[in-house]
């Protein structure tokens, strides 16, 4: 059984009487200790999916799913109190932009201590202080810096501290939403190393969300790619990032980033833009931007199928010959 098991999840925001389907019939599983990536252009529904899992969506949303389970616990029917205790203790999230969310007038150490105290009120002050030091060391910050204020930390250090915060109560699953997006390239590489090391050392399961496929290729065991609210491809990262991507969208997305060893090949963007999620097109949602579309693509929505010759790899494209799932 997967630690996180999402089946047929649909999330829509009600805006001015119109439903914006930010997540549409999505299946996603994360096994214990597994690092899974979730990729796709800005606005395709990645953060919405993370917020649905952590039950932090605004009230004007509709959430429906055949299954939204965490370690056998049904997240859809959980009461608010159990949700809150689950959220930190077992399942935590590093929000998009979390590094800018520290309270500027409280020291970093005090903010991590407060998170621990809230969820483990019986812990002694001394035990909490030791735990804060241990957490900071784990993310590569000297425990002596616990008394610093957020403005005394660089961007990379603040991001490390927000990861320490997410680890504060020994979660089994950490969701990291765009963990490196606001950082320079060198710092980004260091944070990626840190995340991978923590996942391995602590046996953590992780769902790493990024619009940048190169970030995911370095980190993940498995990656799912979303387009306009739907998962269009999912498979082992090793296959998908070494020429085995099956969906035309994934291939175009990969072309948007420099590939190691590809020489001076030019980087191409994807012409056009994603569809309006309030009025998604018929057929394959990518068809209007797809270089290999057929008439069928504009009218019939392709189902996810097994990609022939690649285990655990599925894609939703009429041009893929595999059996429907
Ligand atoms: N709080 C919200 N209220 C209304 N619409 C939203 C809200 N958050 C996101 N959306 C819409 O949902 C879609 C998906 O957004 P999001 O999940 O943030 O995508 P991503 O994280 O992939 O960039 C977008 O069309 C966005 O405008
Ligand atoms: Mg987002």
Residue extents of the structural domains in the chain? 4-90+172-272, 100-170
Element (H, E) at 207: strand 205-210
> Cα–Cα distance between 257 and 235 in angstroms, integer?
19
| Residue 13 near ligand 1, beta carbon < 6 Å | yes
> Cα–Cα distance between 145 and 191 in angstroms, integer?
18
Nearest-5° Cα angle at 19, 13 to 23: 60
- What number of other Cβ atoms are within 10 A of residue 313's Cβ? 22
| Residue 44 near ligand 1, beta carbon < 6 Å | yes
Write down the mean pLDDT value for the chain: 92
| Residue 181 near ligand 1, beta carbon < 6 Å | no
pLDDT at residue 217, as a whole number: 86
Ligand 2 center–CA 132 separation, angstroms: 29
| Residue 195 near ligand 1, beta carbon < 6 Å | no
Structure tokens of 191? 């944070």
Topology (CATH) of 4-90+172-272: Rossmann fold (3.40.50)
Ligand 1 center–CA 229 separation, angstroms: 10
Q: What is the DSSP letter of 307?
A: P
| Residue 278 near ligand 1, beta carbon < 6 Å | no
Mutate to test the pocket of ligand 1, among 19, 20, 24, 28 (most ligand atoms within 8 A of CB): 20
pLDDT in tens, 7-37: 999 999 998 889 999 999 999 999 999 999 9
pLDDT at residue 27, as a whole number: 96
Instruction: Return phi, psi of residue 273, to 5°.
Output: -140, 165
pLDDT at residue 190, as a whole number: 92
Mutate to test the pocket of ligand 1, among 16, 17, 48 (most ligand atoms within 8 A of CB): 48
The residue whose CA has the least distance to atom 2 of ligand 1 is 13
| Residue 250 near ligand 1, beta carbon < 6 Å | no
Ligand 2 center–CA 121 separation, angstroms: 32
pLDDT at residue 323, as a whole number: 60
pLDDT in tens, 141-199: 999 999 999 999 999 999 999 999 999 999 999 999 999 988 898 999 999 999 999 99
Instruction: Return phi, psi of residue 122, to 5°.
Output: -85, -5
pLDDT at residue 75, as a whole number: 94
Ligand 1 center–CA 41 separation, angstroms: 12
Closest alpha carbon to 44 in 215, 291, 249: 249
Mutate to test the pocket of ligand 1, among 22, 38, 276 (most ligand atoms within 8 A of CB): 22
pLDDT at residue 264, as a whole number: 60
Among 42-46, 94-98, 130-134, 261-265, which stretch is predicted with the lowest mean pLDDT?
261-265
Among 78-87, 128-137, 298-307, which stretch is predicted with the lowest mean pLDDT?
78-87
| Residue 45 near ligand 1, beta carbon < 6 Å | yes
> Cα–Cα distance between 312 and 12 in angstroms, integer?
29
Whether residue 218 contacts residue 237, with contact meaning beta carbons closer than 8 Å, is answered with: no
pLDDT in tens, 50-108: 999 998 899 889 999 999 999 999 999 999 889 888 988 899 999 888 888 899 999 99
Who contacts 320 (Cβ-Cβ below 8 Å, separation ≥6)?
A: 246, 247, 305, 307, 308
> Cα–Cα distance between 32 and 150 in angstroms, integer?
33
Q: Give Cα separations from 80 to 53, 56, 75 (angstroms).
A: 14, 11, 10
């Amino acid at each position: 059984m997967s630690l996180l098991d999402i089946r047929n999840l649909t999330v829509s925001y009600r805006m001015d009487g119109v439903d914006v389907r930010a997540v549409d019939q999505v299946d996603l599983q994360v096994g214990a200790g597994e690092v899974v990536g979730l990729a796709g252009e800005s606005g395709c529904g990645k953060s919405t999916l993370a917020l649905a899992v952590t039950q932090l969506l605004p009230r004007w949303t509709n959430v429906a799913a055949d299954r939204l389970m965490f370690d056998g616990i049904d997240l859809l029917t959980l009461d608010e109190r159990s949700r809150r205790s689950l959220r930190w203790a077992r399942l935590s999230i590093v929000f998009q932009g979390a590094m800018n969310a520290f309270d500027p007038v409280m020291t970093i150490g005090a903010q991590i201590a407060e998170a621990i105290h809230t969820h483990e009120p019986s812990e002694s002050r001394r035990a909490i202080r030791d735990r804060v030091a241990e957490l900071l060391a784990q993310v590569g910050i000297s425990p002596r810096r616990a008394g610093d204020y957020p403005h005394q930390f660089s961007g990379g250090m603040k991001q490390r501290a927000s990861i320490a915060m997410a680890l504060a109560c020994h979660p089994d699953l950490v969701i990291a939403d765009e963990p490196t997006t606001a950082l320079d390239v060198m710092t980004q590489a260091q944070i990626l190393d840190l995340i991978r090391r923590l996942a391995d050392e602590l046996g953590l399961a992780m769902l790493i969300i990024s619009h940048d496929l190169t970030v995911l290729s370095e980190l993940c065991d498995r990656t799912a790619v979303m387009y306009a609210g739907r998962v269009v491809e999912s498979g082992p990262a090793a296959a998908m990032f070494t020429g085995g991507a099956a969906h035309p969208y994934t291939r175009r997305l990969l072309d948007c980033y420099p590939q190691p060893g590809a020489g001076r090949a030019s980087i191409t963007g994807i012409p056009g833009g994603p569809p309006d999620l309030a009025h998604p097109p018929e057929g394959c949602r990518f068809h209007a931007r797809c270089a290999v579309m057929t008439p069928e693509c504009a009218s019939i929505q392709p189902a996810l199928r097994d990609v022939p010759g690649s285990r655990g790899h599925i894609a939703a494209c009429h041009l893929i010959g595999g059996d429907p799932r």
